[in-house]
Amino acid sequence: MTITEKSHFDTIIVGAGSAGCLLANRLSADPNHKVLLIEAGGQDDWIWIKIPVGYLFTINNPRTDWCFKTEPDPGLNGRSIHYARGKVLGGSSSINAMIYMRGQESDYKQWSDITGDSIWNWNNSLATYKSIENYFAGDNEWHGSKGEMRVEEPRVQWPILDSWRKAASQQGIPSIEEFNRGDNDGCAYFHMNQKKGIRWSMSDAFLKPIKQRSNLTIMTHTQVLKVLTKDITSETRNQSQNTERAWANSKLETYGLEILHKGEKQIVTANDQVILSAGAVSTPHLLQVSGIGPASLLNNIGVKVVHDLPGVGENLQDHLQIRTVYKVSNCKTVNTLYKNIFSRMMMVLQYILFRKGPMTMPPSTLGAFAKSDPNQISANLEWHVQPLSLPKFGDPLDPFNAITPSVTNIRPTSRGWIRAVSSNPLEYPKILCNYLSTKEDLDIAVAGLKKTREIMKSEALSTYSPEEMLPGENVQTDQELQHAAKDLGTTIFHPVGTCSMGKVDNNGNAENPMTVLDSECRLRGISKLRVIDASAMPKVTSGNTNAPVMLIAETIARKILRSN
């Protein structure tokens, strides 16, 4: 391993995903601050990344996806499923559904309560969201237009989705203008991270405009092998910013990373801090193989315990979507349009000429939120309604016209984990989501399926003569519906919480021993080390998770810049 002059930086960021792109932008704004951004994947210049419907080709493709697999899950009737995570500049924002969803005011109250820090309450979070947005309709009470994250309306319409929206209204789910105002109860078309019909990833928004900065180094196709630590020095201890809260009384500090680049191991060092932004799967895995995590796990896999931190890799939360399928008549859906060579050519032409039509479509265009029962503090069910059907991503579309109203419990109580299986950092970790492992989650799954049936039987959809294909009309009892939920359920790709924030006092003591980070994403017990990505969320937000990741990154970037 060689250390050259170019191996020394002020800040090193691991992962050029959503958070990493923003952090690189903000922290390299000072030309005297040297930043290294490390990405395991490659450039985001493949055409299917930019065309919105290209997620069909980027997910489950090793060119752009880590292609993780979960452990067989009892909550899925023993199935193992594909667990997509972006492996490319932009991370999962280069392959995701592009849906711009903040969550709800109640989510941020929970974050604020769990962390004991008002920086995460709704009012502060709303102001931050507005500051990083470039909203299609300009500035208003809820949105901003001077930021980098482009937010637009859908550029394709489907009459059957308009009818589904009316059907939802007939079942007590009102039509609303949008979802991003703190209370999502209602039905609306999703806002998306697109710009004139092209995917607008966080690489597009935050990295590409500044990648030529002389003080920013971007390394792609580079695997981080280990977080390097040493006994804390007196110099570090004497700098107040390195001993705040989670770093108070630290006996260790990080000073860099061991990496694998072009087949050679190297060491890169950081004067100020190392930030892990590798995502809710890879961040805890990297910590564990570096000896930072639950001592019992590390001992079992032959990793020397550097710092016993039991919460690393635990508290995995994810949204499970239950994909119901209804065959429909008297309309066209993607299923049959795609089968017809002429209509397929027209889709391509419409996109090339106008940047409109089905090729601009995210996996879901229409959404709805509602309470599974009146006692919920806010909407806890979310529907993603698709004008198509297929058994799973990668499979051919069904040969008949159909829609897929997918229902999700957006506040699950089930918890899973990410655990390294050996000391080899290149060996994938085990992922167990433990879906539907609580009675509450099972009850809500049944309520969601029943509510979906009520909507599909509404007068507004009668023109289309919907016929339930999955789970099927023969599935009636609660026990049968629970079994169906386990058969039909699959991830909606929202893993969070595996290095979660919590209350940490000024002496570095956590109220909950499973807390990994303080409210400013400092890792407990190791100075100069932060985790800034979806891992940090103490609770999953009520909806899609990319926007909340950007909130975390922007909020903590500002804190870092102030302290510097």
CA-CA distance, 85 to 491, in Å (whole number)? 12
CA-CA distance, 126 to 116, in Å (whole number)? 18
Q: What is the 3-state secondary structure (H, E, C) of 473-530?
A: CCCCCHHHHHHHHHHHEEECCCCECCCCECCECCCCCECCCCCCECCCCEECCEECEE
- The size of the chain, in residues, is 564
Identity at 171, one-letter amino acid code: Q
Q: DSSP character for 61?
A: -
* CA triple 125-131-137, angle to 5 deg: 110
Buried/exposed 198-209: b ≥16 CB within 10 Å, e otherwise: bbbbbbbbbbee
3-state secondary structure of 163: helix
CA-CA distance, 357 to 199, in Å (whole number)? 14
CA-CA distance, 471 to 481, in Å (whole number)? 8
CA-CA distance, 448 to 450, in Å (whole number)? 5
How many C-beta atoms surround the C-beta of residue 356 within 10 A? Answer: 16
Residues identified as active-site: 494
376: exposed, middle or buried (Cβ count in 10 Å: 0-12, 13-18, 19+)? middle
Q: Which residues are paired to 189 by β-bridges?
A: 366
Of 547, 558, 564, whose CA–CA distance to 148 is shortest?
A: 547
Q: Is the dihedral of CA 331, 335, 337, 340 positive or negative?
A: negative
